[in-house]
Amino acid sequence: MPRGRRILVLGCSGSGKSTFAVKLQALTGLPLYHLDNIWWKPDRTHITREDFDRELCSLLSGPEWIIDGDYSRTYETRIRASDTVIFLDYSEETCLDGITCRIGSVRPDIPWTETELDPQLEALVRQFHSRNRPELLDLMNRYADREWIVFKDRESADSWLRALADEPTA
């Protein structure tokens, strides 16, 4: 079981953050918030940064939560408020496969169904390892007092979740 009750799930688009977070929520009972559902409207427009930051601040002030989403602009704010960070540190290929495979799927983490591969999303995935990942690794060092759980592949993450499900309840 993660030590804390304020858990972030971070990683590249397509890494499966939302799927992992849903499974973790089912095992822990913690409230789950998908940042994409806060930022995006069903018509694919978004709220203002100010409104997003206000909503995020409200979530972070809560006593317990799971929050999933990349939103690198808010990494440090979220990490500072968390006690546990789960980083899905998967390969570019895995994440590209993730965004391709979810086309046509109804998902709880976005307010629409993707019907085709978004070129902007593909570009974000291709840039993650050179832009976002180094920032996360730096924050991992700066916030070493947090519990960091890093998975390099889906199999390891799934195995961890299975072990968590098998833990005896208190």
CATH number at residue 39: 3.40.50.300
Domain annotation covers residue 170? no
The structure's pTM equals 0.90
Backbone angles phi, psi at 119, to 5 degrees: -60, -35
Q: What is the count of structural domains for the chain?
A: 1
Domain annotation covers residue 1? no
Residues of the chain with pLDDT under 50: none
Give the residue carrying structure tokens 């069903």.
42
The parent domain of residue 60 ranges over: 6-165
Q: Decide if 53 contacts 73 (C-beta within 8 A).
A: no
Sheet bearing 65-68, strands edge to edge: 32-34, 65-68, 6-11, 84-88, 147-151
